[in-house]
Amino acid sequence: MAASALSGLGQAISGSALSLVSNYVDPIGGVPLPNCPTDTTSLGHMSYPTVVFLNITMFFMCAVLVAVTIWKYNSVVVFNLNFRYPENNNTLWALFFGVVGLRAIIEAIRYSMDIVEDSSTLNMALFFTSLVLDGFGALALALTLGYQYHYRSGNTSPDSASGVFAGKNPSLGPSSYNDYAPVNNHHSDGQHPDYAPYAAAGPGDFSGQPSSGLMHQVSYLFRTYFLSWETLYFFLFVVFLVAAYLNVTFKNEPPYYWFFFGSCILLRMPALVLTYIITTSPHGLFATCRGGDSTVLYNSLGNGRGVGPTGRSAATSAAITDASFTPTTNAKILLVVGFLLTLFMTFPSSIWAELILPLSAPGGSPCIIFFASWLDILYSGAIVGVLCFFFFLRSEYLRNHEESVWRTISRIQDYMDFRRF
């Protein structure tokens, strides 16, 4: 009896195998993901159970990563107070995890409701929301890696933020020297004489002379906000949205389909380039000598009077001089593995299905194992890749943690200026 039952199940599976590759084509030229396990009717469960399970797993994992990143790895605690520096600010990582998780839950809803082959308003709304989040996730990753390159990969001093409490999202352009000015409260002008020439200079002015004139300010704003790397990332995101709109409007005609296809690749290029730069160059591709940055940081962590290491403890000096301004080898491996595994996110999942299914199941079942297709396995790898990104940010946070603590203590001591009493 058991043998006959298994035989019946096998016939049901083989009989339905050829119908698994849907003839439905979505508005951007893709097809729904494979319906594995194969015979959903005889097994009595929802359609696309593996797809739904993987997307729900991604959603809950990303929700946990967002919470842990914000509450544990986004600031340093000194004297029961939270201080946030560029090297421990992981808000952009939290944004990336949040976007990926939100996109996953939308896909889970679409496939669990079995509406992926409908032209209903609900399905189209969920589909286009998922498409926009695909692109926004790539934008968030580019911004995150750009922040990593600028502040935690030796490109600039870790102190390159305007004050202890600075938390803004920086430009990838060069920082002005007045960013390094220590917190002082005992001079009438609020600046130490050693830093006065730099503090007097206007934004982006390295000459040490006060800047003036409307044209200088306009030039600075233009270079900061229109010639920045972030502007390029946003421009590529807009190109992606325009390409998707044209592809949908002209119903996947070849020129527009390939324009959309190319825009997906272009949107991932900044993350690819930044991953390469961060992992192959000790201080970033365009960084200056470490000595200059180390000297500025070394002085700014002192007593604020340019007296060198004599004003601080041996432990503080050791923490400064031994600080590494680049990710560790293990962290770089995590970054590369995470990027490679998340390449699945380069294209919307329906495009992957349209590309891979004819190759993985020519005339047969797309389910390479009973409950999963090649696409399910690739998406499982993307889940692991997102987890690798989290361990990368954790490694970077721990690498900079002690340095951040000593900088905070030194700044507080300098601000309070105990020697006046």
Q: Where are the alpha helices (DSSP H) in 153-227?
A: 196-200, 214-225
What are the backbone dihedrals phi and psi of residue 326, each rounded to the nearest 5 degrees, phi first?
-130, 155
Among residues 15, 138, 8, 163, the alpha carbon closest in space to that of 86 is found at 163
Integer-rounded Cα radius of gyration of the chain = 27
Judged by DSSP in three states, 57 sits in helix
One-letter amino acid for residue 369 of the chain:
I
Contact 128, 121 (CB under 8 A): no
CA distance 240 to 262: 9
Q: Where are the alpha helices (DSSP H) in 153-289?
A: 196-200, 214-225, 229-249, 254-280
CA distance 141 to 139: 5
Contact 71, 65 (CB under 8 A): no
For tokens 């319906």, the residue is 35
pTM over 0.75: no
C-alpha 342, offset from chain centre:
11
Among residues 151, 146, 118, the alpha carbon closest in space to that of 297 is found at 151
C-alpha 108, offset from chain centre:
22
- Centre a 10 Å sphere on the Cβ of residue 1 and count the other Cβ atoms it contains: 5
First to last CA, the chain: 93
| 159-204 residue pLDDT tens | 443 333 233 333 333 333 233 333 333 333 433 333 333 333 333 3
Residues in CB range of 224: below 8 A, 6 or more apart: 171, 173, 203, 204
| 297-345 residue pLDDT tens | 333 344 333 333 334 444 444 444 444 567 888 999 999 999 999 999 8
CA distance 356 to 417: 66
One-letter amino acid for residue 24 of the chain:
Y
- DSSP letter, residue 227: S
Residue 363: its pLDDT value, please? 55
**Cα dist. 217→134, 169, 223, 391 in Å?**
37, 20, 10, 41
CA distance 79 to 194: 29
CA distance 24 to 11: 25
CA distance 85 to 89: 6
Among residues 158, 227, 147, the alpha carbon closest in space to that of 401 is found at 158
CA distance 63 to 212: 48
Q: Is the preceding omega at residue 37 within 30 degrees of 0, hence cis?
A: yes
Residues in the chain: 421
Residue 311: its pLDDT value, please? 43
Tokens representing 153 are 């990969």
Tokens representing 72 are 């544990």
Reading phi first (left if > 0) and then psi (alpha if -120 to 50, else beta), residue 367 is in beta
Contact 135, 267 (CB under 8 A): yes
Contact 134, 262 (CB under 8 A): no
Please give the chain's pLDDT, 421 residues, in tens. Answer: 444 443 443 333 333 333 444 578 888 888 888 888 765 545 555 778 889 999 999 999 999 999 999 999 987 777 776 777 777 889 999 999 999 999 999 999 999 888 888 788 888 899 999 999 999 999 999 999 999 988 876 555 444 433 332 333 333 333 332 333 333 333 334 333 333 333 333 333 434 444 446 776 666 666 666 668 888 999 999 999 999 999 988 888 899 999 999 999 999 999 999 999 999 876 544 443 333 333 333 333 443 333 333 344 444 444 444 445 678 889 999 999 999 999 998 888 889 888 887 766 555 567 888 788 888 999 999 999 999 999 999 998 888 877 777 777 777 776 666 555 5
Contact 343, 401 (CB under 8 A): no
Sign for the pseudo-dihedral over CA of 343, 349, 353, 355: negative
Residue 22: its pLDDT value, please? 58
Sign for the pseudo-dihedral over CA of 354, 356, 362, 363: negative
Residue 281: its pLDDT value, please? 74
